[in-house]
Amino acid sequence: MTQKTSTPLPSPAPAPASPPPTPKRPFAGHNLGTVVGFEFTRTVKKRRFWIATLAIPVVMAIVFALIYLSNSSTAASADAQKTAAMSFTYTDASGLITPAIATAMGGRQASDPDKALQDVKDGATDAYFAYPADIATQPVKVYGQDHGIFDNGKYDAVAKQILTASAQARIGSPQLMAAASGDVKTESQTFKDGQPAGGLGSAVPPLMFLLIFYVSIILLSNQMLNSTLEEKENRVTEMILTTLNPTTLIIGKVIALFMVGLVQILVFLTPITVGYAFFRDKLAMPDLDLSTLSFEPGTMLVGALLLLGGFTVFTGVLVAIGAVMPTAKDAGTIFGPLMALIFVPFYAMTLIISDPHAPIVQIFTYFPLSAPVTALLRNGFGTLGPLEASIVIAELFIIGFLILRLAVHLFRYGSIQYSSKLSIAGTFRKRTIPGGK
Protein backbone atom coordinates (compact mmCIF):
# COMPACT_ATOMS: atom_id res chain seq x y z
CA MET A 1 0.00 0.00 0.00
CA THR A 2 1.45 3.18 -1.07
CA GLN A 3 1.41 5.99 1.50
CA LYS A 4 0.74 9.46 0.10
CA THR A 5 2.62 12.36 1.47
CA SER A 6 1.14 15.82 1.21
CA THR A 7 3.30 18.66 0.20
CA PRO A 8 3.09 21.40 2.78
CA LEU A 9 1.59 24.59 1.43
CA PRO A 10 3.82 27.65 1.63
CA SER A 11 2.91 29.99 4.41
CA PRO A 12 1.41 33.26 3.26
CA ALA A 13 3.83 36.12 2.96
CA PRO A 14 3.60 38.59 5.78
CA ALA A 15 1.64 41.70 4.98
CA PRO A 16 3.77 44.76 4.41
CA ALA A 17 4.03 46.94 7.44
CA SER A 18 1.87 50.04 7.27
CA PRO A 19 3.74 53.32 7.39
CA PRO A 20 3.87 54.99 10.79
CA PRO A 21 1.20 57.61 11.28
CA THR A 22 2.31 61.10 10.35
CA PRO A 23 2.57 63.22 13.44
CA LYS A 24 -0.05 65.89 13.37
CA ARG A 25 0.72 69.50 14.13
CA PRO A 26 -0.90 70.65 17.33
CA PHE A 27 -4.12 72.61 16.96
CA ALA A 28 -3.31 76.04 15.55
CA GLY A 29 -5.55 77.85 18.01
CA HIS A 30 -3.74 76.21 20.91
CA ASN A 31 -0.39 77.28 19.47
CA LEU A 32 -1.67 80.80 18.88
CA GLY A 33 -2.78 81.12 22.50
CA THR A 34 0.58 79.78 23.64
CA VAL A 35 2.49 82.29 21.54
CA VAL A 36 0.31 85.21 22.68
CA GLY A 37 0.60 84.25 26.35
CA PHE A 38 4.34 83.65 26.13
CA GLU A 39 5.12 86.89 24.27
CA PHE A 40 2.89 89.02 26.50
CA THR A 41 4.21 87.50 29.74
CA ARG A 42 7.82 87.67 28.59
CA THR A 43 7.48 91.37 27.76
CA VAL A 44 5.65 92.51 30.90
CA LYS A 45 8.06 90.60 33.14
CA LYS A 46 11.05 92.57 31.89
CA ARG A 47 12.28 95.25 34.25
CA ARG A 48 13.25 97.58 31.41
CA PHE A 49 9.67 97.41 30.06
CA TRP A 50 8.25 98.81 33.29
CA ILE A 51 11.08 101.34 33.59
CA ALA A 52 10.28 102.65 30.11
CA THR A 53 6.51 102.45 30.68
CA LEU A 54 6.49 104.16 34.07
CA ALA A 55 9.11 106.77 33.18
CA ILE A 56 6.63 109.00 31.33
CA PRO A 57 3.88 108.88 34.01
CA VAL A 58 6.45 109.57 36.73
CA VAL A 59 7.81 112.56 34.82
CA MET A 60 4.24 113.78 34.19
CA ALA A 61 3.41 113.41 37.89
CA ILE A 62 6.49 115.46 38.82
CA VAL A 63 5.60 118.15 36.27
CA PHE A 64 1.99 118.22 37.53
CA ALA A 65 3.24 118.59 41.11
CA LEU A 66 5.52 121.49 40.15
CA ILE A 67 2.69 123.17 38.22
CA TYR A 68 0.36 122.66 41.19
CA LEU A 69 2.81 124.28 43.60
CA SER A 70 3.61 127.07 41.16
CA ASN A 71 -0.05 127.87 40.49
CA SER A 72 -0.80 127.83 44.21
CA SER A 73 1.98 130.33 44.82
CA THR A 74 0.87 132.44 41.84
CA ALA A 75 -2.74 132.49 43.06
CA ALA A 76 -1.63 133.57 46.53
CA SER A 77 0.50 136.35 45.05
CA ALA A 78 -2.38 137.50 42.83
CA ASP A 79 -4.73 137.61 45.81
CA ALA A 80 -2.18 139.61 47.75
CA GLN A 81 -1.87 142.08 44.88
CA LYS A 82 -5.62 142.59 44.77
CA THR A 83 -5.74 143.59 48.44
CA ALA A 84 -2.45 145.49 48.52
CA ALA A 85 -2.71 149.28 48.71
CA MET A 86 -0.79 151.24 46.09
CA SER A 87 -0.14 154.98 46.07
CA PHE A 88 0.18 156.63 42.67
CA THR A 89 -0.11 159.95 40.94
CA TYR A 90 -1.35 160.71 37.45
CA THR A 91 -1.61 163.46 34.87
CA ASP A 92 -4.46 163.49 32.37
CA ALA A 93 -3.96 165.37 29.10
CA SER A 94 -6.90 163.53 27.52
CA GLY A 95 -9.51 164.68 30.00
CA LEU A 96 -11.02 161.18 30.09
CA ILE A 97 -10.02 160.15 33.63
CA THR A 98 -12.71 160.56 36.29
CA PRO A 99 -10.99 161.93 39.44
CA ALA A 100 -13.39 160.13 41.81
CA ILE A 101 -12.50 156.75 40.27
CA ALA A 102 -8.76 157.44 40.46
CA THR A 103 -9.04 158.63 44.06
CA ALA A 104 -11.03 155.55 45.05
CA MET A 105 -8.18 153.38 43.73
CA GLY A 106 -5.58 155.25 45.79
CA GLY A 107 -4.40 157.88 43.33
CA ARG A 108 -4.19 161.64 43.20
CA GLN A 109 -3.78 163.99 40.30
CA ALA A 110 -0.36 165.64 39.95
CA SER A 111 0.18 169.15 38.64
CA ASP A 112 3.86 168.77 37.76
CA PRO A 113 4.81 165.69 35.68
CA ASP A 114 8.53 166.06 36.39
CA LYS A 115 7.98 166.15 40.15
CA ALA A 116 5.62 163.18 39.95
CA LEU A 117 8.28 161.15 38.13
CA GLN A 118 10.94 162.23 40.64
CA ASP A 119 8.71 161.09 43.52
CA VAL A 120 8.66 157.62 42.01
CA LYS A 121 12.44 157.61 41.69
CA ASP A 122 12.82 158.78 45.29
CA GLY A 123 10.36 156.19 46.58
CA ALA A 124 7.81 158.74 47.75
CA THR A 125 5.07 157.14 45.61
CA ASP A 126 4.71 153.71 44.06
CA ALA A 127 3.79 154.77 40.51
CA TYR A 128 3.03 157.62 38.15
CA PHE A 129 0.69 157.36 35.12
CA ALA A 130 0.86 159.91 32.29
CA TYR A 131 -2.26 159.76 30.12
CA PRO A 132 -1.63 161.40 26.69
CA ALA A 133 -3.93 163.76 24.82
CA ASP A 134 -4.79 161.14 22.16
CA ILE A 135 -5.37 157.75 23.76
CA ALA A 136 -6.03 156.12 20.38
CA THR A 137 -2.59 156.86 18.89
CA GLN A 138 -0.31 157.61 21.84
CA PRO A 139 0.71 155.18 24.61
CA VAL A 140 0.00 155.66 28.30
CA LYS A 141 3.34 156.05 30.03
CA VAL A 142 3.62 154.06 33.25
CA TYR A 143 6.42 154.60 35.77
CA GLY A 144 6.80 152.53 38.91
CA GLN A 145 9.20 151.19 41.48
CA ASP A 146 10.77 147.85 40.61
CA HIS A 147 9.30 144.98 42.65
CA GLY A 148 10.18 142.12 40.32
CA ILE A 149 8.88 141.07 36.92
CA PHE A 150 5.64 139.58 38.24
CA ASP A 151 4.75 142.37 40.65
CA ASN A 152 5.60 145.09 38.12
CA GLY A 153 2.68 143.96 35.98
CA LYS A 154 0.23 145.53 38.43
CA TYR A 155 1.15 149.04 37.25
CA ASP A 156 -0.09 148.47 33.69
CA ALA A 157 -3.20 146.69 35.00
CA VAL A 158 -4.15 149.59 37.30
CA ALA A 159 -3.51 152.22 34.62
CA LYS A 160 -5.76 150.39 32.15
CA GLN A 161 -8.42 149.71 34.77
CA ILE A 162 -8.70 153.41 35.64
CA LEU A 163 -9.06 154.33 31.97
CA THR A 164 -11.65 151.62 31.29
CA ALA A 165 -13.74 152.49 34.35
CA SER A 166 -13.61 156.19 33.46
CA ALA A 167 -14.67 155.52 29.86
CA GLN A 168 -17.54 153.33 31.00
CA ALA A 169 -18.70 155.99 33.46
CA ARG A 170 -18.54 158.63 30.72
CA ILE A 171 -20.48 156.48 28.23
CA GLY A 172 -22.98 155.57 30.92
CA SER A 173 -23.94 152.26 29.26
CA PRO A 174 -22.25 148.87 29.86
CA GLN A 175 -23.77 147.65 26.58
CA LEU A 176 -22.16 150.44 24.55
CA MET A 177 -18.90 149.89 26.39
CA ALA A 178 -18.92 146.19 25.55
CA ALA A 179 -19.75 146.91 21.92
CA ALA A 180 -17.02 149.54 21.65
CA SER A 181 -14.35 147.29 23.18
CA GLY A 182 -15.37 144.23 21.17
CA ASP A 183 -16.12 142.25 24.32
CA VAL A 184 -19.17 140.57 22.79
CA LYS A 185 -19.99 136.85 22.89
CA THR A 186 -21.23 135.02 19.81
CA GLU A 187 -22.85 131.63 19.26
CA SER A 188 -22.40 129.99 15.86
CA GLN A 189 -24.48 127.28 14.22
CA THR A 190 -23.72 125.70 10.86
CA PHE A 191 -25.78 123.31 8.78
CA LYS A 192 -24.89 120.35 6.58
CA ASP A 193 -27.49 118.72 4.32
CA GLY A 194 -30.19 120.69 6.09
CA GLN A 195 -29.19 119.41 9.53
CA PRO A 196 -27.19 121.18 12.26
CA ALA A 197 -23.49 120.37 11.96
CA GLY A 198 -21.49 119.39 15.00
CA GLY A 199 -18.61 121.80 14.32
CA LEU A 200 -15.48 121.22 16.36
CA GLY A 201 -17.42 118.94 18.72
CA SER A 202 -17.94 116.46 15.88
CA ALA A 203 -14.27 116.57 14.83
CA VAL A 204 -12.73 115.73 18.20
CA PRO A 205 -14.07 112.13 18.63
CA PRO A 206 -12.87 110.79 15.23
CA LEU A 207 -9.53 112.57 15.65
CA MET A 208 -8.99 110.45 18.77
CA PHE A 209 -8.36 107.53 16.40
CA LEU A 210 -5.44 109.51 14.95
CA LEU A 211 -4.02 109.99 18.45
CA ILE A 212 -4.42 106.26 19.19
CA PHE A 213 -2.69 105.42 15.90
CA TYR A 214 0.32 107.59 16.70
CA VAL A 215 0.59 106.33 20.27
CA SER A 216 0.30 102.68 19.26
CA ILE A 217 2.82 102.94 16.43
CA ILE A 218 5.33 104.93 18.48
CA LEU A 219 5.05 102.60 21.48
CA LEU A 220 4.91 99.30 19.61
CA SER A 221 6.96 99.77 16.45
CA ASN A 222 10.33 99.17 18.06
CA GLN A 223 8.99 96.13 19.91
CA MET A 224 7.46 94.74 16.70
CA LEU A 225 10.78 95.08 14.95
CA ASN A 226 12.76 93.47 17.76
CA SER A 227 10.24 90.69 18.38
CA THR A 228 11.13 88.99 15.09
CA LEU A 229 14.84 89.77 15.42
CA GLU A 230 15.25 88.60 19.01
CA GLU A 231 14.90 84.88 18.29
CA LYS A 232 17.05 85.23 15.17
CA GLU A 233 19.88 86.87 17.10
CA ASN A 234 19.56 84.26 19.86
CA ARG A 235 19.82 81.44 17.25
CA VAL A 236 16.66 79.68 18.44
CA THR A 237 14.33 80.39 15.52
CA GLU A 238 14.93 77.09 13.72
CA MET A 239 14.06 75.21 16.93
CA ILE A 240 10.79 77.13 17.28
CA LEU A 241 9.79 76.51 13.65
CA THR A 242 10.12 72.71 14.04
CA THR A 243 6.91 72.69 16.08
CA LEU A 244 5.22 75.97 15.17
CA ASN A 245 3.79 77.36 11.97
CA PRO A 246 5.42 80.69 11.01
CA THR A 247 2.00 82.26 10.38
CA THR A 248 0.84 81.33 13.87
CA LEU A 249 4.07 82.68 15.34
CA ILE A 250 3.81 86.03 13.58
CA ILE A 251 0.11 86.53 14.34
CA GLY A 252 0.69 85.58 17.97
CA LYS A 253 3.49 88.13 18.27
CA VAL A 254 1.32 90.87 16.75
CA ILE A 255 -1.61 90.16 19.10
CA ALA A 256 0.69 90.03 22.13
CA LEU A 257 2.34 93.31 21.24
CA PHE A 258 -1.05 94.95 20.75
CA MET A 259 -2.01 93.82 24.27
CA VAL A 260 1.27 95.23 25.59
CA GLY A 261 0.45 98.53 23.87
CA LEU A 262 -2.94 98.65 25.60
CA VAL A 263 -1.20 98.22 28.97
CA GLN A 264 1.17 101.09 28.18
CA ILE A 265 -1.63 103.39 27.01
CA LEU A 266 -3.60 102.74 30.21
CA VAL A 267 -0.53 103.50 32.32
CA PHE A 268 0.11 106.75 30.43
CA LEU A 269 -3.51 107.90 30.71
CA THR A 270 -3.75 107.28 34.46
CA PRO A 271 -1.94 110.47 35.67
CA ILE A 272 -3.79 112.60 33.10
CA THR A 273 -7.16 111.22 34.20
CA VAL A 274 -6.38 111.65 37.90
CA GLY A 275 -5.04 115.17 37.35
CA TYR A 276 -8.07 116.24 35.32
CA ALA A 277 -10.59 114.70 37.72
CA PHE A 278 -9.18 116.03 41.00
CA PHE A 279 -6.67 118.84 40.29
CA ARG A 280 -7.95 120.47 37.08
CA ASP A 281 -8.06 124.02 38.46
CA LYS A 282 -4.68 123.87 40.17
CA LEU A 283 -3.03 122.37 37.06
CA ALA A 284 -4.64 124.97 34.76
CA MET A 285 -6.20 122.26 32.60
CA PRO A 286 -8.98 123.37 30.23
CA ASP A 287 -12.51 122.55 31.33
CA LEU A 288 -13.88 120.32 28.57
CA ASP A 289 -17.61 120.28 28.07
CA LEU A 290 -18.23 116.70 26.96
CA SER A 291 -21.84 117.53 26.13
CA THR A 292 -20.65 119.44 23.05
CA LEU A 293 -18.99 116.35 21.56
CA SER A 294 -20.87 114.69 18.72
CA PHE A 295 -20.30 110.98 18.07
CA GLU A 296 -21.47 110.36 14.51
CA PRO A 297 -21.69 106.58 13.89
CA GLY A 298 -20.52 106.70 10.27
CA THR A 299 -17.50 108.86 10.98
CA MET A 300 -16.53 106.84 14.05
CA LEU A 301 -16.80 103.56 12.10
CA VAL A 302 -14.61 104.93 9.30
CA GLY A 303 -12.06 106.13 11.86
CA ALA A 304 -11.93 102.72 13.56
CA LEU A 305 -11.46 100.90 10.23
CA LEU A 306 -8.74 103.34 9.12
CA LEU A 307 -6.96 102.78 12.45
CA LEU A 308 -7.06 98.98 12.10
CA GLY A 309 -6.05 99.11 8.44
CA GLY A 310 -3.13 101.44 9.09
CA PHE A 311 -2.00 99.35 12.05
CA THR A 312 -2.07 96.23 9.84
CA VAL A 313 0.05 97.88 7.13
CA PHE A 314 2.74 99.14 9.50
CA THR A 315 2.79 95.88 11.42
CA GLY A 316 3.36 93.90 8.24
CA VAL A 317 6.11 96.24 7.09
CA LEU A 318 7.95 96.07 10.43
CA VAL A 319 7.70 92.28 10.59
CA ALA A 320 9.00 92.05 7.02
CA ILE A 321 11.96 94.27 7.89
CA GLY A 322 12.72 92.07 10.90
CA ALA A 323 12.59 88.97 8.70
CA VAL A 324 14.96 90.40 6.08
CA MET A 325 17.56 92.07 8.29
CA PRO A 326 20.01 89.95 10.30
CA THR A 327 20.34 92.29 13.30
CA ALA A 328 18.47 95.16 14.94
CA LYS A 329 21.31 97.52 14.04
CA ASP A 330 20.87 96.76 10.35
CA ALA A 331 17.09 97.13 10.64
CA GLY A 332 17.49 100.58 12.21
CA THR A 333 18.70 102.05 8.90
CA ILE A 334 15.24 101.39 7.42
CA PHE A 335 13.21 101.79 10.60
CA GLY A 336 14.05 105.49 11.08
CA PRO A 337 12.95 106.76 7.64
CA LEU A 338 9.87 104.54 7.79
CA MET A 339 8.73 106.09 11.06
CA ALA A 340 9.34 109.56 9.64
CA LEU A 341 6.78 108.88 6.91
CA ILE A 342 3.87 108.91 9.37
CA PHE A 343 4.71 112.52 10.29
CA VAL A 344 5.07 113.82 6.71
CA PRO A 345 1.32 114.61 6.31
CA PHE A 346 1.52 117.04 9.23
CA TYR A 347 3.72 119.35 7.16
CA ALA A 348 0.79 119.71 4.77
CA MET A 349 -1.96 119.64 7.40
CA THR A 350 -3.25 123.11 6.51
CA LEU A 351 -3.55 122.10 2.86
CA ILE A 352 -5.15 118.77 3.81
CA ILE A 353 -7.87 120.58 5.75
CA SER A 354 -8.44 123.52 3.40
CA ASP A 355 -7.97 121.88 -0.03
CA PRO A 356 -8.42 118.08 0.26
CA HIS A 357 -8.53 117.64 -3.53
CA ALA A 358 -5.08 119.13 -4.15
CA PRO A 359 -2.75 116.68 -5.99
CA ILE A 360 -0.31 116.33 -3.08
CA VAL A 361 -3.19 115.65 -0.68
CA GLN A 362 -4.55 112.97 -3.01
CA ILE A 363 -1.12 111.33 -3.14
CA PHE A 364 -0.90 111.33 0.65
CA THR A 365 -4.45 109.95 0.86
CA TYR A 366 -3.77 106.88 -1.29
CA PHE A 367 -0.07 106.16 -0.64
CA PRO A 368 -0.20 103.23 1.84
CA LEU A 369 2.34 104.58 4.36
CA SER A 370 0.82 108.08 4.54
CA ALA A 371 -2.81 107.09 3.94
CA PRO A 372 -3.71 106.31 7.60
CA VAL A 373 -2.71 109.74 8.95
CA THR A 374 -4.04 111.72 5.98
CA ALA A 375 -7.34 109.85 5.83
CA LEU A 376 -7.85 110.09 9.60
CA LEU A 377 -7.28 113.86 9.44
CA ARG A 378 -9.72 114.27 6.56
CA ASN A 379 -12.24 112.00 8.25
CA GLY A 380 -12.10 114.07 11.43
CA PHE A 381 -12.63 117.36 9.60
CA GLY A 382 -15.34 115.98 7.34
CA THR A 383 -13.53 116.17 3.98
CA LEU A 384 -13.27 112.42 3.33
CA GLY A 385 -16.25 111.31 1.26
CA PRO A 386 -17.86 107.84 1.52
CA LEU A 387 -16.33 106.65 -1.78
CA GLU A 388 -12.83 107.83 -0.87
CA ALA A 389 -13.16 106.32 2.61
CA SER A 390 -14.20 102.95 1.14
CA ILE A 391 -11.28 102.96 -1.32
CA VAL A 392 -8.69 103.85 1.34
CA ILE A 393 -10.04 101.30 3.85
CA ALA A 394 -10.08 98.52 1.24
CA GLU A 395 -6.58 99.51 0.10
CA LEU A 396 -5.15 99.44 3.62
CA PHE A 397 -6.63 96.03 4.51
CA ILE A 398 -5.69 94.41 1.20
CA ILE A 399 -2.14 95.79 1.17
CA GLY A 400 -1.77 95.04 4.88
CA PHE A 401 -2.86 91.42 4.34
CA LEU A 402 -0.47 91.01 1.38
CA ILE A 403 2.43 92.53 3.33
CA LEU A 404 1.74 90.22 6.28
CA ARG A 405 1.72 87.23 3.92
CA LEU A 406 4.99 88.43 2.44
CA ALA A 407 6.40 88.94 5.94
CA VAL A 408 5.52 85.36 6.91
CA HIS A 409 7.10 84.09 3.67
CA LEU A 410 10.27 86.05 4.32
CA PHE A 411 10.35 84.92 7.93
CA ARG A 412 10.40 81.28 6.81
CA TYR A 413 13.66 81.86 4.94
CA GLY A 414 15.21 84.70 6.86
CA SER A 415 14.72 83.15 10.31
CA ILE A 416 17.92 81.12 10.02
CA GLN A 417 19.95 83.57 7.97
CA TYR A 418 22.03 85.22 10.64
CA SER A 419 25.00 86.83 8.91
CA SER A 420 23.62 88.70 5.91
CA LYS A 421 20.52 90.42 4.61
CA LEU A 422 17.96 88.13 3.05
CA SER A 423 17.44 88.34 -0.71
CA ILE A 424 13.69 88.81 -1.24
CA ALA A 425 13.84 87.75 -4.89
CA GLY A 426 15.89 84.69 -3.95
CA THR A 427 13.19 83.39 -1.61
CA PHE A 428 10.73 83.07 -4.47
CA ARG A 429 13.20 80.97 -6.50
CA LYS A 430 13.55 78.36 -3.75
CA ARG A 431 11.33 75.31 -3.89
CA THR A 432 12.06 73.98 -0.45
CA ILE A 433 11.78 75.61 2.93
CA PRO A 434 14.61 75.37 5.43
CA GLY A 435 13.91 72.81 8.11
CA GLY A 436 11.30 71.02 6.02
CA LYS A 437 8.69 73.75 6.49
What is residue 394's predicted lDDT score, i.e. its pLDDT?
A: 95
Nearest to 409 by CA among 393, 426, 427, 431: 427
> Using CA atoms, how far apart are residues 308 and 244, in angstroms rounded to an integer?
26
> Using CA atoms, how far apart are residues 137 and 144, in angstroms rounded to an integer?
23
CB 81 within 8 A of CB 75: no
Whole-Å CA distances, 370 to 220, 310, 360, 361 = 18, 9, 11, 10
- Rounded (10°) CA dihedral 359, 361, 365, 366: 20
**Taking CA 292 as the corner, what is the angle to CA 290 and CA 297, rounded to the nearest 5 degrees?**
90
Contacts 24+ apart (CB under 8 A), 67-72: 67/282, 67/283, 67/284, 68/279, 68/282, 68/283, 71/282, 71/283, 71/284, 72/282
The number of C-alpha atoms within 13 Å of 39 and in the hemisphere containing its C-beta is 27
What is residue 18's predicted lDDT score, i.e. its pLDDT?
A: 42
Whole-Å CA distances, 336 to 47, 343, 348 = 25, 12, 20
What is residue 354's predicted lDDT score, i.e. its pLDDT?
A: 83
Question: What is the pLDDT tens value at each position of the chain, 437 positions in all?
Answer: 444 444 454 545 444 444 444 344 444 445 777 777 777 787 777 777 777 677 767 777 777 677 666 666 555 555 555 445 678 899 988 888 888 888 888 888 888 889 988 888 888 888 899 999 888 888 889 998 887 776 777 888 888 888 888 888 877 777 776 776 666 676 665 656 666 665 566 777 888 888 888 877 877 777 777 766 666 666 555 566 656 677 777 777 778 877 877 787 787 777 777 776 666 665 555 555 555 667 788 888 999 999 989 888 888 888 777 777 766 666 667 777 777 778 888 888 888 888 888 888 899 999 988 899 999 999 988 888 899 999 999 999 999 889 888 877 777 765 555 555 555 555 555 544 444 44
User: Residue 288's CB: how many other CB atoms inside 10 A?
Assistant: 11
CB 412 within 8 A of CB 437: yes
pTM for this one?
0.59
> Using CA atoms, how far apart are residues 142 and 126, in angstroms rounded to an integer?
11
CB 375 within 8 A of CB 384: yes
> Using CA atoms, how far apart are residues 399 and 370, in angstroms rounded to an integer?
13
What is residue 414's predicted lDDT score, i.e. its pLDDT?
A: 58
Report the chain's terminal Cα–Cα distance, integer Å.
75
What is residue 388's predicted lDDT score, i.e. its pLDDT?
A: 92
> Using CA atoms, how far apart are residues 241 and 249, in angstroms rounded to an integer?
9
